[in-house]
Amino acid sequence: MGLTSAQKEILDKAIEALHSRKFHAQYPEHPSPKIYGETADEDGKKAFIASRKRNFEELKQEGEMNWIGEEDSPYFIEPVGPKYPQMSNDTLLERAEQSFHSWRKVSKDDRAAVLIDSLDRFSKRFFENAYATMHTTGQGYMMAFQASGPHAADRALEAIAAGYEELGRFPESTVWDKPMGKYNLVINKEWRAIPKGIGLVIGCSTFPTWNSVPGVYANLITGNSVIVKPHPGAVLPMAIVVAEIRNALRDAGFDPEVCQLAVDSKANPIAKELAEHPKVKLVDFTGNSEFGSYLESLPKAVFTEKTGVNSIILDSVKDIDKVLQNITFSVALYSGQMCTAPQNFFIPEGGVKTPDGVISFDEIAEKMAAFTDGLINNPKAGPFVAGTIQNTATADRTNDAAEAIGGKVWLETRHVEQSIEYFKNARTQTPTYIEVSSADKDKFASEMFGPIAFLIKTKDTKESVALAREMAEKHGAISCGAYTTDPEMKEFIADEMSLAATPVSFNLVGGIYVNQNAAFSDFHVTGGNPAGNASFTNPNYVNERFTWVGMREPA
> Is 193 domain-assigned?
yes
More confident residue, 98 or 407: 98
pLDDT of residue 1: 80
Domain contains 47? no
Residues 407 and 457 in one domain: yes
Note the pLDDT tens digit of each residue in 3-34.
999 999 999 999 999 999 999 999 999 998 88
d(CA 80, CA 116): 30
Do 164 and 81 share a structural domain?
A: yes
113-148 as b/e: b if 16+ CB within 10 A: bbbbbbbbbbbebbbbbbbbbbbbbbbbbbbbbbbb
Give the pLDDT of residue 33: 86
**Axis-axis angle for helices 5-20, 150-167 (nearest 10):** 90
What CA dihedral angle connects 33, 38, 44 and 46, to 10 degrees? 150
The answer on 481 and 367 residing in a single domain is: yes
Element (H or E) spanning 352, and its range? strand 352-354
**pLDDT given at position 419:** 64
What is the extent of the structural domain holding 248? 54-305+537-554
pLDDT-based confidence at 418, cuts 50/70/90?
A: confident
Query: Where would I find the beta strands (DSSP E) of 182-271?
Result: 184-195, 198-202, 225-229, 259-261
Query: What letter would DSSP give residue 360?
Result: P
| 81 and 230 belong to one structural domain | yes
Spatial separation of the C-alpha atoms in residues 75 and 389, rounded to whole Å: 9
Contact yes or no for 226/258 (Cβ under 8 A): yes
Phi first, then psi: give them for residue 178, nearest 5 degrees: -110, 115
> What CATH number corresponds to the domain at position 502?
3.40.309.10
- Are 349 and 409 found together in one domain? yes
Considering all CA atoms of the chain, what is the largest pairwise distance in Å, rounded to the nearest integer? 90
Question: What percent of the chain shows pLDDT beyond 90?
Answer: 95
My answer on whether 296 and 233 are in the same domain is yes
417 pLDDT above the threshold of 80:
no
11, part of any domain: no
Q: Is residue 463 part of a domain?
A: yes
- Residue 187, φ and ψ in degrees, nearest 5: -125, 130
CB contact at 8 A, 360 and 351: yes
* Model confidence pLDDT, tens digit, residues 419-445: 666 688 899 999 999 999 999 999 999
Decide if 397 is inside a domain: yes
Model confidence pLDDT, tens digit, residues 308-318:
999 999 999 99
Is residue 328, in this structure, part of any structural domain at all? yes
Distance CA(151)–CA(249), nearest Å, equals 23
Q: What CATH code is carried by the domain that includes residue 176? A: 3.40.605.10
Residue 32 maps to a domain: no
Asked if 205 and 347 sit in the same domain, the reply is: no
Q: Are strands 225-229 and 311-314 parallel, antiparallel or unpaired?
A: unpaired
pTM of the model: 0.96
Helices (H), 185-343: 213-221, 236-251, 271-276, 289-296, 320-332
Q: Residues 254, 340: one domain?
A: no
Q: Are residues 136 and 211 in the same domain?
A: yes
Please indicate, yes or no, if residue 49 is contained in any of the structural domains: no
Compute the distance between CA of residue 157 and CA of residue 240 in angstroms, rounded to an integer.
17
Same domain for 113 and 228, yes or no, is yes
Are 49 and 41 in contact by the 8 Å Cβ rule? The answer is no
Question: Are 379 and 237 within one domain?
Answer: no
Count of domains observed in the chain = 2
Instruction: Clarify whether residues 142 and 229 are in a common domain.
Output: yes
What pLDDT, in 10s, does the model give residues 260-307?
999 999 999 999 999 999 999 999 999 999 999 999 999 999 999 999
Element holding 369 (H helix, E strand) = helix 361-376
